[in-house]
Amino acid sequence: MSEVSESNTSENAEGSTKKKSKFFKEAKSITLIIILVLAFRSVFFEPFKIPSGSMIPTLLIGDFILVNKFAYGFKVPFSQFFGDPIYITGPNSPKRGDVIVFKYPQDTSLNYIKRVVGLPGDTVEVIDKVVYVNGQPLDAESFEGELVMKDMDEKFKNFNLRFYKAKTGDHVHLTQVHMDNVFLADHPREVVPEGHYFVMGDNRDFSSDSRRWGFVPFNYIKGEAMLVWFSMSVPFPWSDMEEDFTFRPWRIGTMIDDAPGLEN
């Protein structure tokens, strides 16, 4: 009886050891996969969802975008969690007109997305809704907004909007202004500090940007927005607006700055 008991005990111990070994191997594999995925998001590409209308008509509420995290240089994975990111290559300065995702300077737990208008050393001012950089107005010509309005979020359709085909740096894109809003018609001339950027939303009169809270430090920039990989708007149940569920398959795969009727 003792030999059988000892044999059973040995088999049970061996089985338990194999189970533990298998568990640790699986745990290591899962941990490695998680680390690789997080490292990929930290260094290469990361998806974001657009929650507000500050970048309309370029980006709509409910657009899911892909952000190029190495657009301005390769970073050491996870270095941004311990302070300023450490760059392996670069860093390279954003170009005027780039659409960037960055940490909101007044609350770094939040991510914002805007367009770069002013580079370090530039002077930026707004006069009667016209943006001036270094004393020159940004190129902008009136644009027929009928096609844009078809995709427009309901909350903006009843405003007196005017659309423009603008050129910011090498980027050709659309902007819109609310002609009845006089509060953001002007902004005093400012000089962009070294290592900082002046950013604005393409939905000029519905954007909280550098006109309100100041400049974006370079080390707060996460990357450059590349494309829309999905687009779906789901109304909030507590919203007072009469909005419908909206799925926009025609926006899937479109590059940033692409817009109906706009040829770059």
Q: Which two tokens stand for residue 17?
A: 């050891």
Task: Give the helix ranges, DSSP H, for the chain.
Answer: 2-43, 146-151, 210-213
Q: Measured between alpha carbons, how far apart are the two ends of the chain, in Å? A: 87
Spatial contact of 47 and 66, defined as CB atoms under 8 Å apart: yes
Which neighbouring-strand residues pair with 31? none
Q: How many other CB atoms are found less than 10 A from the CB of residue 228?
A: 23
Q: How far apart are CA 43 and CA 223, in angstroms?
A: 10
Q: Judge whether 54 counts as a catalytic residue.
A: yes
Q: Are 220 and 103 in contact (CB under 8 A)?
A: yes
Q: Cα-flanking dihedrals φ and ψ of residue 5, to 5°?
A: -65, -45
Answer for the pair 102, 111: CB distance below 8 angstroms, yes or no. yes
Say which of 54, 207, 210, 231 is annotated catalytic: 54
Catalytic annotation present for 114: yes
CA distances from 226 to 99, 160, 186, 241 (A): 8, 30, 30, 30
Query: For the purposes of burial, counting CB atoms within 10 Å of the CB of 12, is it exposed (0-12), middle (13-18) or buried (19 or more)?
Result: exposed
Helix H or strand E segment including 222:
strand 221-233
CA atoms within 13 A on the CB side of 153: 24
Question: Of the listed 69, 103, 114, 165, which one is catalytic?
Answer: 114
Catalogue the active-site residues. 54, 114
